Amino acid sequence: MEPGIRMEVVTGTFWKKDGALVCTPDGGGEPVDVVGILEPFVGLRVKFALHHWPVSPQEGLPGWGSCFWGSSEDCPAGHAKNPDFLVQVGGEGVLRRDGAAWSFDRDGAAEDLPLGMMEGHRGRLAVVQVVTADDFKKGFVLPDIPVDQGGNVDPEKVEALGEQLRGLRDMMAQLKTFLKEG
């Protein structure tokens, strides 16, 4: 992993493509491999959120409208039997992987990350690396401000970096709220 604070957020429809869990982002675009999002964070302390995310929550619909399985028994989240259930996992811990199983170590207690329950649902996965003062003492560096070949600041790249930082701020506020309510 390159130096700097790592963060990944994807919101969209989770489904299987060639046996792999992917997410097609809201607004379109190419499907994103979920393992590809998580792999760089293995062994790192992270803050994360994984949850079903209905666009317009509607009581009585499977997953409050986040489930595309309808009343099918095939829904991995069990919405045929419990339509009000929503996957809501969040917190801070060290991300672990054992084959296809993902978990996080929260102060010595391993908790599963139920990625399989996301298939066929609209949801969100957000992961950000936790950085401490000790990390900076060990030589941790923030990413450089993007410049072009002449050393000039590229306004589009700075705006994109600003957008990422605003997204991180918003995600952290949502995660904070989620953890307080959870």
pLDDT recorded at residue 3: 47
Instruction: Evaluate whether residue 105 is within a structural domain.
Output: yes
pLDDT at residue number 166: 74
Over residues 21-42, the pLDDT tens digits come to 999 999 888 999 999 999 999 9
Whether residue 59 has pLDDT greater than 50: yes
Question: What pLDDT, on a 0 to 100 scale, did the predictor assign at position 117?
Answer: 95
Into how many domains does the chain fold?
1
Tell me if 138 is assigned to some domain: no
139 falls within a domain: no
Nearest 5 degrees, angle CA 103-CA 127-CA 162?
Answer: 175
Which of 49-58, 83-92, 99-108, 112-121 has the least mean pLDDT? 99-108
Task: Determine which helix (DSSP H) or strand (DSSP E) holds 181, and give its type and residue range.
Answer: helix 155-181
Looking at residues 84-102, what average pLDDT do you find?
90
Range of the domain at 70: 7-131
Residue 2 within any structural domain of the chain: no
Is residue 32 assigned to a domain?
yes
**176 is a domain residue:** no
For the entire predicted model, the pTM comes to 0.71
Annotate 134-177 with three-state secondary structure.
HHHHCCCCCCCCCECCCCCECHHHHHHHHHHHHHHHHHHHHHHH
The answer as to whether 137 is a domain residue is: no
61 within some domain: yes
